[in-house]
Structures are given as structure tokens and as C-alpha cells.
Amino acid sequence: MPGGDEIAARLNELAASDRFELVVATRDWHPPDHCSFEKQGGPWPVHCVQGTKGAELHPALDFERVDVLFDSGQEPHLEGYSAFERPELGSILREKRVDIVYVAGLATNICVRGTALGALEEGFGVTVDTRASRGIDAEGVVSTADAVDELGRAGATVI
């Protein structure tokens, strides 16, 4: 997506800092008929199909800093915008006694928003780092500015 690669350095910096006990990378990992694709009536062109080049994490990301790789959007009929849509991630974080989830990445108004709201619903404290995130505009989805407002109102710390 436009500008997406601009955040890689900042994400690497965050992942390398000792502020965090656990680094979780989430990736879109869709079946070819995923409900978010235009031909299924969703807002997006085909992207991040399981096992294809487009689903790989960006090569500028430092994978060695990633403790857990979590695949999202695997079920054809679930959007997968939140990494908390399935129960596994919440369980992993509770097991590690995580209390604050720091969210950054792509896209601010879609999966960052979804994941941050999901984390709040599960009772975690949430910080959203907009400097390490980028939004994407599309027909029928919340704008980046509105998403940032919504996250603040929902209780996230937005920086």
C-alpha cells in the first residue's frame, strides 16, 4: 500500500527496544475467496493470499526480533481486521502476563484500529503509535482521522 514501507525502520526500532517483553507480528493470510476482496463484495483488491509472495512480511522488517508470528483473516467469512478476532492471541498475551499492548503497522484505520479495539475489549491497556503506522483510504471504510479519534474515545493512548 502507498507509503507502507516508510514505517519499517520505525517498527524495527520498536521491536529492538527493551521496552517490550514480547514482539508479535501479525500478517494478513487470506484464502483466495476472502470476504474482504472486491469480487466477494468487500472493499479491497485481492491481497495477501496464503502462500503467495504478496502475503510475505516486508523484507525490510527485522524478523529476528519477532517472538510470535500471528496469521489473521484465514477464515473466508471473517474480515480478520483484528488480530484478536480469534481467541489465541489474547490467551498468549495473558499467559505472558502482558498488560499493555502497543499497536503499530498497516493500516491505521483498518487492522491497527481493529486490533487496538480488540485489545481494549479483552481488557488490555492500549497504546497506538501513529508514527509507526499508515492509513489507507477506500470506499466504505472509516477514514484514518476518524479511526484515530475513535481509538482515543475508546480508551487507547494515541501517540
Contact footprint for Zn ion (CB under 5 A): 28
Shortest gap between Cβ of 27 and Zn ion (angstroms)?
9
CB-nearer residue toward Zn ion: 29 or 124: 29
Nearest one of 79, 85, 83, 49 to 140, comparing CA atoms: 79
| Residue closer to Zn ion (CB basis): 22 or 49 | 49
By C-beta, is 28 or 71 nearer to Zn ion?
A: 28
Can you say whether the dihedral through the CA atoms of 68, 72, 75, 80 is positive or negative? positive
101-to-6, 120, 157 alpha-carbon distances in Å: 22, 9, 10
CB of 51 to Zn ion, least distance (A): 15
CB nearer to Zn ion: give 98 or 135: 135
How near is the Cβ of 47 to Zn ion at its closest, in Å? 6
Tell me the three cell numbers of residue 104.
503499530
Measure the CA–CA gap between 42 and 141, rounded to whole angstroms: 10
We find the least distance from the C-beta atom of residue 36 to Zn ion, in angstroms, to be 5
Residue at shortest CB range from Zn ion:
28
Alpha-carbon distance 80 to 108, whole Å? 14
